[in-house]
Amino acid sequence: MERKEQLYEGKAKKVYATDDPQLIIVEYTDGAAAFHGRKKGTIAGKGSINNRVSNDLMRLLEKQGIPTHLVEQLSDRETVIRKAQMIPLKVIVRNVVAGSLSTRIGMPEGTRLKSPVLEYNYKDDALGDPMINRFHALALDLCAPEELATIERYAFRANDILRTRLQQLDIDLIDFKLEFGRLADGTIVLADEISPDTCRFWDTETGERLDMDRFRRDMGGAEDAYQEVLHRLLEE
């Protein structure tokens, strides 16, 4: 599979066309951004780690019945994926209070939630991705009601599968963000990535943060934390 022209360049990824109109190649870079691009930097080695972590977790979800865009890993940083029409929603699932939820409801980070919470952010850079609910998503016609039901089912199932898997590695899945797309035949697939950029991973024993918060909050040690997640996932 060969890379053709570049279609898109984001903060942490570049996307290329291929010979096949249904397939594209994503290249993960070391670029890091937070707070809607107001904070930018790099995390050395991140691209290669996120490529492998995301593919490993997507394969696991695929095996357990959640369709994904994943086709095959091409190289350290590159993966072939199915082209999908993206639904402009960030789908966030939370098990423990952290980040923006902690600020919003005034509860300390680390408070366990009685049941998982699903939130939507409307993907719009100019608006700063405002939080909306499922009624807004339907009223704005971001997707069909059946598609939204599928997305919610997949998001909660992914939470169960990922939590169980990560627990075996002494990682507590605090929260994470998913994005979905629609293939040419209408199938809803899990797209984008699942990595320390898009999840909160806390060490079960020490509570140490093994994710993007190390960069967002200038805690240092982001490179080592990302490496640690990859090692735990693949060292079995």
Which residues in this chain contact ligand TMP in the complex, by CB under 6 A?
90, 92, 98-101, 121, 129, 175-177, 198-200
**Distance between CA atoms of residues 117 and 33, nearest Å:** 25
Q: Shortest approach of ligand TMP to residue 201 CB, angstroms?
A: 9
> Judged by CB, which is closer to ligand TMP: 25, or 196?
196
Q: Shortest approach of ligand TMP to residue 42 CB, angstroms?
A: 17
What number of CA atoms fall less than 13 Å from residue 105's CA on the CB side?
A: 11
Residue nearest to ligand TMP (CB): 99
> Judged by CB, which is closer to ligand TMP: 27, or 197?
197
Q: Shortest approach of ligand TMP to residue 123 CB, angstroms?
A: 8
> Judged by CB, which is closer to ligand TMP: 12, or 18?
12
Q: Shortest approach of ligand TMP to residue 193 CB, angstroms?
A: 9
Residue 194 phi, psi dihedral angles, 5° rounding: -130, 110
DSSP for 48-86, written as a single string: HHHHHHHHHHHHHHHHTT--BSEEEE-SSSEEEEE--EE
> Judged by CB, which is closer to ligand TMP: 3, or 203?
203
> Judged by CB, which is closer to ligand TMP: 74, or 117?
117
Q: For tokens 């719009």, name the residue.
A: 124
| CA atoms 117, 118, 123, 124: torsion sign | negative
Q: Shortest approach of ligand TMP to residue 2 CB, angstroms?
A: 30
Distances (CA, A) of 232 to 168, 229, 235: 9, 5, 5
